[in-house]
Amino acid sequence: MHTLSSVLTLPEAVLTPVGAEVYRGLTTSPKSLAPWLFYDETGSRLFEEITRLPEYYLTRTERGILARYADEILECAGYRPVTIIELGAGTAAKTGLLLRVAVDRQGAVDYVPIDVSRSALAAANEHIEADIPGVRVAARVADYTKGIGEIPAPGKRRMVLYIGSSIGNFEPEDAMQVLREVHHRLAPGDLMLLGVDHAKDRRTLLRAYNDAAGVTEAFNKNMLVRMNRELGASFNPRLFQHRAIWNEEHSRMEIYLKSLIAQRVSIPTLDLEVEFAEGESIHTENSYKFTEESIAAIVEPAGFKIAQSWTDEREWFGVYLAARQ
């Protein structure tokens, strides 16, 4: 705990979100860093690259499900027109599949993409308005984990899209909290469409997070590069190894950066020297993989009821439509 006098002497960088998280994560044992640190400009570009890798089945499998069942999904919304809100929309690459069907059904659709990245939203805005006439985009730059604010939709039903298995990067308790915040902003009968990765054979999962081209490795090590650039740290990414393991008991992929030698790294802007033992790891991400039961165990206590779900032939990925109770 910091006393008032120690707070007054803290280095300024500790007061920034990145500095505070790095300070917290590298001074606690075991060491960890929050996955949101992946997504600076380079990290967001590397993630886009991951979604196109042959081993990373998630994005293309979800896109296949949305392409095949978009009609059915919107049919479930009934006859009332929908306003579509998307959490962590990014460049909204897959959303066009649903927006097109919504425009066909109701003539025009209001689309509210919410994301922390202004540049990703600008790209989304541009391609959606140009490609799908009838979509009215009202983008919001915001961190949806801190709440989504009011979404006016007079006479319409809201449908919140939370796709891309993003919910899998939260601990179940935190995921439930995000959904509770969404619940708070919706009215009974509004809908949420969740895209989640399913638990599957170990080999397929390990390949998806240990790709041959090393893009996931670069994505993981980008955290070190980011700390060097933004905090003046002295990490040598070559002295760390990307590790992705399957934890069957918790049904999650776990991602680490493992120190190959005993070393000391300095972070001058945080007044910090960090010691690593040989083989010691920084835990950078969990990616939970669900079953129908485990997703219901998160969605239902948050005040939603799963109305319908869709999957692919191999049942590798699931799209769940839940109604706000």
Q: Which is nearer to ligand AVI, 44 or 83 (CB)?
A: 44
User: Which residue's CB atom is positioned nearest to ligand AVI?
Assistant: 287
CB 64 within 8 A of CB 163: no
Q: Which is nearer to ligand AVI, 53 or 151 (CB)?
A: 53
Classify strands 191-197 and 157-162 as parallel, antiparallel or unpaired.
Answer: parallel
How many CA atoms are closer than 13 Å to the CA of 141, on its beta-carbon side? Answer: 7
Minimum Å gap between C-beta 22 and ligand AVI is 19
Which listed residue (106, 145, 166, 309) binds ligand AVI by CB under 6 A? Answer: 166
Does 43 contact ligand AVI by CB under 6 A? no
Q: How far apart are CA 62 and CA 37, in angstroms?
A: 25
Which listed residue (50, 121, 124, 205) binds ligand AVI by CB under 6 A? Answer: 50
Name 171's Cβ contacts closer than 8 Å, sequence gap at least 6: 286
Does 168 contact ligand AVI by CB under 6 A? yes
Does 209 contact ligand AVI by CB under 6 A? yes
Does 165 contact ligand AVI by CB under 6 A? yes
CA 217 to each of CA 183, 213, 255: distance values in angstroms, whole numbers, following the listed order: 36, 9, 10
Name 203's Cβ contacts closer than 8 Å, sequence gap at least 6: none
Minimum Å gap between C-beta 245 and ligand AVI is 13
Which listed residue (164, 172, 195, 318) binds ligand AVI by CB under 6 A? Answer: 164
Does 211 contact ligand AVI by CB under 6 A? no
CA angle 89, 90, 96 (to 5 degrees): 65
Query: Which of the stretches 23-31, 77-85, 160-168, 315-323 binds ligand AVI when contact is defined by CB under 6 A?
Result: 160-168
Q: How far apart are CA 145 and CA 56, in angstroms?
A: 25
Question: Does residue 301 have a cis peptide bond before it, meaning omega lies within 30 degrees of 0?
Answer: no
Q: Which helix (H) or strand (E) holds 188?
A: none
Which listed residue (285, 289, 316, 317) binds ligand AVI by CB under 6 A? Answer: 285
The residues with which 196 forms a beta bridge, in sequence order, are 318
Does 25 contact ligand AVI by CB under 6 A? no
Does 216 contact ligand AVI by CB under 6 A? yes
Binding region for ligand AVI (CB under 6 A): 50, 58, 164-166, 168-169, 209, 216, 285, 287
